[in-house]
Amino acid sequence: MAKAKKKNATGDATVYREFGTSEKALERPIQEPSPQEQDLRIQLSRKGRGGKTVTIISGFQLQPETLKTLLKALKAQCGTGGSAKENTLEIQGEHREKLLAALTQLGYRAKLSGG
């Protein structure tokens, strides 16, 4: 019979790790491109939302923390709610023109997409 591996306190079967249990020590920093280097698309969508309109901004190449900070600023600008999913932002309601003006003011290259 084969013995089962014992798991340590973190749940993995690692016997020894030089840098401790922190995964951050093993990650390499990712350089974020500047706002001028990112091409963003702003579009409206109603699919799968019960007929409610959502403005979707896609094309970001940012860290999740930076994306959430930007989302908070854009939600305050529009006075609505929203969420960040992967590399896209979803703002509740139809706010394409407001978001286009706000993003270009921040230095992003953004354009309206779709209808």
pLDDT at 55: 95
pLDDT at 36: 84
H or E stretch at 98? helix 96-105
pLDDT band at 108 (very low <50, low <70, confident <90, very high): very high
Residue 33: CB atoms within 10 Å: 10
Instruction: List pLDDT tens digits, range 11-47.
Output: 666 666 666 556 666 666 668 788 888 899 999 999 9
Average pLDDT for the chain: 84
The DSSP bridge partners found for residue 33 are: none
Return the CATH architecture of domain 35-112: 2-Layer Sandwich (3.30)
Domain ranges of the chain: 35-112
Q: If you search the block for the tokens 């960040």, which residue do you land on?
A: 84
Backbone φ/ψ region at 51: left (φ over 0), alpha (ψ -120 to 50), beta: left
pLDDT at 107: 92
DSSP state of 23: S
Give the mean model confidence (pLDDT) for residues 46-53: 90
Q: What is the per-residue DSSP string for 75-87?
A: HHHHTS-EEEETT
Is 98 a residue whose pLDDT tops 80?
Answer: yes
